[in-house]
Amino acid sequence: MSGAKRPKEYEKLIVKGKRCDGRKIDELRPLTIKVGVIKRANGSAYVELGKTKVYAAVYGPKELHPRRLVEDDKAVLSVKYSMLAFSVNDRARPGPNRRSTEISKVVKHALEPVIFLEEFPQLNIELIVDIIQADAGTRTAAVIAGSVALANAGIPMKGLVSACAAGKVDGEILLDLNAPEDNFGDSDLPIAMTSTDKKITLMQLDGVMTKAEIQKAIILIRKGNDYIISKQIEALKGVYQ
């Protein structure tokens, strides 16, 4: 993260309080959420956060294979996050890798706390997230889309989950890093929160921050997540009205 050589255009990432894409320090990228975009799936969503574009689909509850993974007292949520080959500058090799395995795991852990998995013992709820274009913030976009797709599939949940990141760039704490800020900044802190009691279900940190800076970042993230939740609810309501 730190130490990467900056090209001329990104030598200064904040000029007079404005970021390289014109945003203020506490402003999210433009967010679009669409629901029910994949008709074969039980539930689906499309999320666009700036140039990051993500599809999520939910299949199930259905039978779980292989059978040895079955849990007797609850459903198993399986999450498959993947980046499509053409979603990044240098072609990404298709198929799972260590990064996608870890992200699938943290996204699963981000969503499980709000799902009433005990309603479907021995069954499987499958969430597939395809990143069709990656431009920073793909795991948070995956959480936003995944939570909406689960709701669209009618999976009983105690609330939604929203997610966004903040990070330290050129000495400032910024909300929702774009690709240059992510690549040339000092740190990145993605956090997912539940809509009901704003508890933290995903958190990772890459790069150095003090405790006070982390607390400052969480204040920005809370604000960002409040807005994201309102957009998630609006998108879901749009389908049923």
Partner 1 sequence: MIETNKNYIRQNIAIKRLDGRTYKDFRKLSVETNLIEKAEGSALVTLGETKVLVGVKMDLGTPFPDSGDVGILMTNAERSPIASPEFESGPPNDDTIELARVVDRGIRESGCIDFHKLCIKEGEKVWMVFVDISILNNDGNLFDAAAAGAISALLTAKIPKLNDNGTVNRSEYDGALVVTDLPIMVTTALINGVMVVDPTADEEEVIEGRVHVTSIEAGICAMQKSGSCEFTEEQIMTAIDNSIAMGKELRKQLKKK
- Under the criterion CB under 8 A, does residue 5 sit at the interface with partner 1? yes
List, in order, residues 6 or more apart from 144 with CB less than 8 Å away.
33, 45, 47, 49, 54, 161, 162, 163, 228, 232
Binding mask 217-236 for partner 1 (x = CB under 8 A): -x------------------
Q: Is 203 in the site for partner 1 (CB under 8 A)?
A: yes
- CA 96 to chain centroid, in Å, comes to 18
Peptide bond into 121 cis (omega under 30): no
Q: What does DSSP say about strands 123-133 and 76-83: parallel, antiparallel, or unpaired? A: parallel
Contact residue for partner 1 among 42, 44, 104, 232 (CB under 8 A):
104
For partner 1, which stretch binds (CB under 8 A), given 26-34, 132-140, 144-152, 208-216? 208-216
Please report whether residue 66 would count as binding partner 1 according to CB under 8 A. Answer: no
Q: What token pair was written down for 86?
A: 């053409």
Interface with partner 1 (CB under 8 A), residue from 84, 132, 214, 233: 214
Amino acid (one-letter) located at 117: L
Instruction: From 50-58, 101-109, 173-181, 228-236, give the range in contact with partner 1 by CB under 8 A.
Output: 101-109
The amino acid present at 108, given as its one-letter code, is: K
Phi-psi region of 65 (alpha: psi -120 to 50; beta: other; left: phi over 0): beta
For partner 1, the closer of residues 37 and 207 by Cβ is 207
Give the binding range for partner 1 (CB under 8 A) out of 63-71, 97-105, 171-179, 224-232.
97-105
Check binding of 123 to partner 1 (CB under 8 A).
Answer: no
204 binds partner 1 (CB under 8 A): yes
Cβ-based nearer residue to partner 1, 34 or 74: 74
The pair of three-digit structure tokens given for residue 97, joined into one six-digit string? 């890798």
User: Under the criterion CB under 8 A, does residue 109 sit at the interface with partner 1?
Assistant: yes
Nearer to partner 1, 181 or 213 (CB): 213
How far, rounded to the nearest angstrom, does the alpha carbon of residue 134 sit from its chain's CA centroid?
Answer: 12
Count of residues interacting with partner 1 (CB under 8 A): 38
Residue 216 tokens, joined = 């400052």
Give the span between the Cα atoms of 120 and 123, in whole angstroms. Answer: 6
Whether 42 contacts 60, CB under 8 Å: yes
Q: 14 is written with which tokens? A: 């904040």
Interacting span for partner 1 (CB under 8 A) from 56-64, 105-113, 139-147, 229-237: 105-113
Indicate whether 209 belongs to the interface with partner 1 (CB under 8 A): yes
Round to whole Å and give the CA distance between 90 and 13: 23
Positions touching partner 1 (CB under 8 A) are 1-5, 90, 98-99, 101-102, 104-106, 108-109, 112-113, 187, 189, 194, 197, 199-211, 213-215, 218
